[in-house]
Amino acid sequence: MKRNIAAMCLFLTASLWADISDPKVPVTDDVFFHPSQEQKDQNVPSHDKEAASLSARIAFASGEKLLGKVILSDPTFAIPAGENVTGRKLELPYFGISEIESLLWAGKELGKGAYYFSPCLVSVKMKNGEIYRCKQMPVKIDFADQSGKRNVFFTGFYDYIKNGKWVNSGSAERNYPTKNPHPKTVTGIFFL
């Protein structure tokens, strides 16, 4: 009798494992997936899910704007769950975000007058009207312009103090780069 019960349990457990399959990633109209080979002017989803992309306009500190698609390696933008909450992240799906914009940069001294500035105050506006503030933004933006040409752009920048002035701007004001990034720095991603 004990053997029959043990055999039945083993059979039921094996049959349960056989029915489990990996979940499928949903594909929406405003997201399409790129296979490893470049796809130009093709909005048909591919099942080779290396990266997703969303139509967007990126803005630079110079005022220049580019229209195309942001290539995403992750479907969500993670921000801390709250000021007093450590270790917990709020996962915001990119398809629900209307814009991510850097408002302020913080400099880290690298030595010998060199500094690296990265976003330290970022506004995330959702399509449903909610607004979040956080201290980080993606460091690099993988972007395909309207012709399909891919480039990588950055939200951080380097600057140097030489003879008491910032090299990029010529300003002697110590905090100048925190609100005036290098002209080629991405300041915002506006999803269409």
Structure tokens at 99: 């814009």
In the prediction, which pLDDT does 6 show?
46
Range of the domain at 179: 2-191
Number of domains making up the chain: 1
**Beta strands in the chain, from DSSP E residues, in sequence order:** 32-34, 51-60, 65-72, 76-80, 89-93, 97-111, 114-126, 131-134, 140-145, 150-154, 157-162, 165-166, 186-191
In the prediction, which pLDDT does 4 show?
52
Unique residue bearing structure tokens 């630079």: 60
pLDDT-flagged residues of the chain (< 50): 6-49
In the prediction, which pLDDT does 33 show?
30
